Structure 1
Amino acid sequence: MKNWLISTFLTLTLLGVSAIANGQNQSIQEDVQRLTIEVENFLKEQSQGLKDPYVIEVKPIDPRLKLTPCSDLKSFLPAGAKVWGKVTVGLRCSAPKGWVIYVAAQVRVYAEYFVSKNPLNAGQTLSEEDLLKIRGEISNQPMGTITDKQQAIGKTMLATHPAGVTLRHDLFKSVPVILQGQSIKVISQGPGFRVSNDAIAIQQAIEGQLIRAKTLSGQFVSGIARSGGFIEVQ
């Protein structure tokens, strides 16, 4: 009888420990899921200005992470990070205990862009016959990829360019309308609203080129460069 009681006690104890462990693991897993959702929502907010379809993939977060539950969680992009393609998103907890982690993700954007239909020569002025329209993932293309044929027609090539290769704004002889470090306006507009914010250009751009800027609040935005020192976010 005594042995049976001891055996029963040990069994119940082990079951209790197992239940606690499973509960802890479930709690950790729920935290990881919450962090994943936070990153995905943040990237959706950053992609609001896109008119083209996009897909967000957040890389799995190590479920073994034992992070203090956070009541003040904020997402951010590291300095110089991009919003499209392979990206890294930071998660910063301020309370009750501070910690920071970085999560890998990928934002695939699908749109139309242009490549050279024929080999191009330095000094050649482009016509519509020199362009070939492609529809595919534009987020893995170089910055400044041509997305409107009017951005290339009539432009002069700076150097030779092979056939079938993406056309970019920096391949042409052009005068930038926005310079790197310049104070600019970010115009966000949509049905029934138009908002203007001050920002600093991260790069130089010509008319119609996609450009990134940093607002005074520290947020990174992408938009189309326009003459007059502003970028347009649809």
Structure 2
Amino acid sequence: MLRLRFTKPSTLRFWQLAFFWAILSVTAFTRIQADDDNLLQQVHQFLYEETQALGEEVVIDLRPPSPHLPECVQPEPFLANANQAPLGRVSVGVRCGEDGRQVRYLQAQIDVIGDYVVAARDIERGTLITSSMLSERGGNLGDLSAQALTAEEDIVGKIAQRPIRSGSVFLAHYLQAPHLVERGQRVTVIAQGSAFRVSREGEALEDGALGEQIRVRFGPREIMTARVAERGILVVDF
């Protein structure tokens, strides 16, 4: 006796539709995965370029973007905090689209193995820092404070604003550049441009370190802001 088994048209249509949607889902997932891979690759390359000069070895751990976000067209990565070295936990912004109006943020952990400077001995408050007071130490720069000064040139020539123990890392607020101009001091102000250079004397109204902008008085009603260039000398650029 021959027995045949038939599938009802409605059931067959259901499985055809299910198979069709499964293919679409796999295709969409593959496309999204490719978009995410491209975005991660560009952000990773950006971070590598930003950190390669910081140490001998760089390890970048980048978290993938949310799967619910749309594709990022023409991604342009940037550092959310451009004033700090990209070390430790870092937020990376990415501008998307031709006009860059869409912005999203990715989180990264950046570990850099390199050398940094520490105090070679105890340093008292008010001490002018010299190279003989420093020593080098190796380690993960990402473990240091965001305010840590790791290069000797950022430390030598500055004055300790608090006692610093031997072996301590130098933080930015521990140090201050020495004043090259004192409040009430008679100073020379040089005004210069592409085709001229004139100078006149005035009175500094505040203390100033190298590169700082301070106010200078020339007369009862004439006050100008100038940049400290060297001891007793200020400059105004036009």
TM-score range, shorter chain: 0.5 to 0.7
State the 1:20 CA deviation: 0.9
2:57–2:113 CA contact under 8 A, matched in 1:
yes
Q: What is the distance in 2 between the residues matched to 1:69 and 1:125? A: 51
TM-score (ref. length: structure 2): 0.58
Higher relative contact order (CA 8 A, sep 6+): 1
TM-score normalised by the chain length of structure 1: 0.59
Cα offset, 1:106, TM superposition: 2.7
Higher strand content, 1 or 2:
2
Quick check: 1:59 aligned with 2:63? yes
| Superposition pairs of residues 106-145 of structure 1, within 5 angstroms | 106-124=109-127, 131-139=134-142, 140-143=144-147, 145=149
SS of structure 2 residue aligned to 1:9 = helix
Contact 1:56 1:105 in 2 (8 A): yes
Which stretches in structure 2 are left out of the alignment for 5+ residues?
Answer: 181-208, 211-228, 231-238
Shift of residue 135, structure 1, vs aligned partner: 0.5
Match for residue 84 of structure 1? Answer: 86
Secondary structure in structure 2 of the residue aligned to 1:25: helix
Instruction: Name the aligned partner's letter for residue 151 of structure 2.
Output: T
Q: Larger C-alpha radius of gyration, 1 or 2? A: 2
Aligned length: 179
Of the structure 1 ranges 165-174 and 5-14, higher mean CA displacement relative to structure 2 is found in: 165-174
Percent of residue pairs identical: 20
Q: Residue in 1 aligned with 2:42?
A: 38
1:73 is aligned to 2:59: no
SS at match of 2:116: strand
3-state SS of the aligned residue for 1:106?
strand
Aligned counterparts of 2:44 and 2:100: Cα–Cα separation in 1:
23
For 1:160, the equivalent position in structure 2 comes to 163
Gaps of 5+ in 1: 178-204, 207-226, 229-234
Shift of 1:136: 0.8
CA distance in 2, matches of 1:150, 1:62: 39
Q: Distance in 1 between matches of 2:108 and 2:15?
A: 44
Where do 1:1-234 residues align within 5 Å?
A: 3-50=7-54, 52-65=56-69, 67-68=70-71, 70=73, 72-78=74-80, 80=82, 82-85=84-87, 86-95=89-98, 99-124=102-127, 131-139=134-142, 140-143=144-147, 145-148=149-152, 151-152=155-156, 157-168=160-171, 171-172=174-175, 174-175=177-178
Which residue in the other structure is 2:216 paired with?
Answer: none
Shift of 1:176: 8.3
